[in-house]
Chains A and B, each alone.
Chain A
Amino acid sequence: MIKFRNRSLALAISTIFFLILLFLFYETFNMAPSYLPGYPGDSFFPRLILIFLIFWNVLLIFQNLKKPFILSSSEKDREDFIEIYYKEILKLFIVSLIYVYSIELIGFEILTSLFLFILLIERMDYTFKKSLIFSSLISISTMFIFWIIFIIFLKIPFPLKFLPSLIY
């Protein structure tokens, strides 16, 4: 977990966005010109939006400088510290990525049960043995419920290994 001052994080985010927006604005010059009379071209609307966005982004940067001088709102929490649980988010992100990219290989049934089991086991308030049993049971039964809803009822072609898809 990292602690940031609300204002500092907002400043960092808005500065990163500012650089990205400038790059995107530059990108609009590579877009196709207009071939239709009257049509302003593919780049016209994105440029309008990016100018609009850069304008508010600059205000956001100024608002989060040490002495806010423009459109400073009544937010009293800008000096508060906020906690970003980056390790936990990264872990969830990676576990989710593994799920998505291995579903073809391992199959919906095993992977869904495994995914839920991994998430549940560390969130159970029981002894290790009890947590292991409960997590396994809940994961497997949830997988069956999701199989019924998404594959049998909604007929979504998930990669299956042993359960029938019954899609016709």
Chain B
Amino acid sequence: MEILFNLPNFVLNIFTLTTVLVIISGVFLGIILGALPGFGSAQSLAILFPLTFVMSTSDALIFLLAVYSAAEYGGSIPAILIKTPGTPANAISIFDGYTMAQNGQPKRALQVSLISGVIGGLTSTIIFIISGTTLAYFGLKFGPGEMFALGIFGLSIIGTFFGKNIVKGFFATGLGLFLATIGISGFGGVRFSFNQAYLIDGIPLVVIVIGLLACPEAFKLLIESKNELNKNEKLFKESKNDGFKLSQIKNLIPTWIRCSMLGTLIGAIPGAGAAIGSMIAYSQEKKWCKNGEKFGTGIDEGIAAPETANNSVVAGTLIPTLALGIPGSGAAAILIGLMISKGVVPGPFLFVDEKDLISLIFGGLIFTNIFLLIIGFSATNLFAKVTKISKKKLGCFVLLLIIIGTYSYSNYSAHVVMSLILGCLGYIFLKINIPSIPIVLGFVMGPIIEQNLNRALTIHNGDLTIVLFRPITITILIFAVLTILYGIKTRT
């Protein structure tokens, strides 16, 4: 609560020229990258991650959060205009968004999507600060054994629900955990370095993130860009009655409230993510809404439901990410990685030791959504043009950005080579449906889980049974096993 009371001061602090510029550039770049088909929020963060190397911790976090929020909205632009979702979470917006655009109201569809996204973002930000603080309060009572179990629980959800196939999901998660063990162990030893200097410090997160999330997309853009949009095809069919009117807002309020809650809740579950959030919100709103039977015919509620939910997921994801150190999505894993690289340890102590940073994140999210509304409204036509960018030409710039971005981390060629190798692996994984995001999540969570396990074992003289059979630990671990069993039962 203290964080909330101190908020006005922090909100004033946020209004420095640098922070405002950081938010504006984050929103702008986020919408553009999100609008590129195939570029999800995680991929957008991966590509822009190198830009945070020289930023302060707070600016870097706010920048990535702005990109994250804006990319979730940006993805709806190609979904509505050309029936190609920018992010998987926007796929459901095609049903009503694209239909509305085809009915001659593309601007209205884009505006409903934007306003809903902003409302979802703002509501979930408020829920985040209240529930995050509460969750962190409980988290503070946890010892290393319980935190280890929580990490395992997070992995069980990630492995079970990421991707189409549970076996591939867990294989990818394990691979991420393994990659995190390469290099110095923390107790002086070096693991899996094979006497190679470039492996002694381990693989940097930037290499993993760029290599597995951005590189395969760059290869795809450069190689497989056959289905490009015809340059002369018109995106907008001009219509006089196009546009969302303020008087129509009241009809959408119930949808916004329900879907914000739902989206935040789903975002708080590690592994669930925006795609599941928007899908569930759409199907539930279809039942709850009085116009439910008209869903799919191009109505406002049909766009508002998924778009509110997928933007609510952003702040929802931050709840377990910041309060417990368990990333809820690929984008959250990148945020955790950024914090660790800047010397900030995510987890319950963050809410005690770094109150300023938490307030700044809170304020940053609020302003991000306000700027998203302003920029989104004023530059709708410009962002719509992004959908017409030639993919094969764009791929050239993305590949260059990947190389320069990785190289800038420490001016070390080996890091670029590692990224490219991981990129090739990620490309093959993409082909055989092995998801890359669990690898990133496993990589980020690996050291957290290992540190907590080692700490718990050291406290209990190396007796694993004492660590595992403490009441809270065993309860969490049982939940992890039940999650996997549920996944096996329902997903095979």
Interface residues of A (CB under 8 A from B): 6, 9-10, 13-14, 24, 27-28, 31-32, 34-40, 42-43, 45-46, 49-50, 52-53, 56-57, 59-60, 63, 71-75, 77, 82, 84-85, 88-89, 92-93, 96-97, 99-101, 103, 112, 115-116, 119-120, 123-125, 142, 146, 149-150, 154-158
Contacts and interface: CB of A to CB of B under 8 A. Distances in A.
A88 B459 contact: no
B428 A9 contact: yes
Contacts of A89: 219, 223, 424, 427
A120 B394 CA distance: 9
A158 B53 CA distance: 14
Contact of B400 (A46, A77, A97, A146): A146
B219 A75 contact: no
A112 B403 CA distance: 10
Given A6-B432, A123-B396, 16 more contacts: A24-B192, A32-B188, A38-B460, A40-B462, A42-B185, A49-B178, A49-B181, A49-B446, A50-B178, A53-B171, A56-B167, A56-B171, A88-B222, A97-B420, A112-B404, A156-B53
Contacts of B491: 73-74
Most buried by A among B174, B177, B395: B174
A63 B454 CA distance: 34
Nearest to A1: B223
Contacts of A97: 417, 420
B167 A60 contact: yes
B222 A39 contact: no
B397 A39 contact: no
Given A49-B178, A56-B171, A73-B165, A119 B399 contact: yes
Contacts of A74: 164, 491-492
Contacts of B175: 53
Contacts of B174: 49, 52-53, 56
A72 B164 CA distance: 11
B400 A115 contact: yes
A92 B399 contact: yes
Contact of B408 (A36, A42, A53, A156): A156
Interface in B381-400: 390, 392-393, 395-397, 399-400
B336 to A, nearest CB: 19
B223 A120 contact: no
Nearest to A42: B189
Contacts of B107: none
B161 to A, nearest CB: 13
Contacts of A63: 165, 167
Contacts of A73: 164-167, 491-492
Contacts of B461: 37-38
A63 B167 CA distance: 9
Given A49-B174, A85-B223, A154 B168 contact: no
A71 B160 CA distance: 12
A92 B51 contact: no
A119 B393 CA distance: 8
B187 interface: yes
A112 B400 CA distance: 8
B403 A46 contact: no
Interface string B74-91: 000000000000000000
B477 to A, nearest CB: 14
21 contacts: A9-B431, A10-B434, A34-B187, A37-B462, A38-B457, A38-B462, A40-B457, A71-B165, A71-B488, A72-B492, A73-B166, A73-B167, A74-B491, A89-B427, A92-B399, A103-B407, A119-B222, A119-B400, A149-B51, A154-B408, A156-B54
A83 B301 CA distance: 40
Contacts of A99: 403
Nearest to B463: A38
B225 to A, nearest CB: 8
B239 interface: no
B199 to A, nearest CB: 12
A95 to B, nearest CB: 9
Contacts of B420: 93, 96-97
A98 to B, nearest CB: 11
A53 B170 CA distance: 8
Given A73-B164, A85-B223, A45 B181 contact: yes
Interface in B178-203: 178, 181, 185, 187-189, 191-192
Interface in B431-477: 431-434, 446, 450, 453-454, 457-462
B403 A100 contact: yes
B206 interface: no
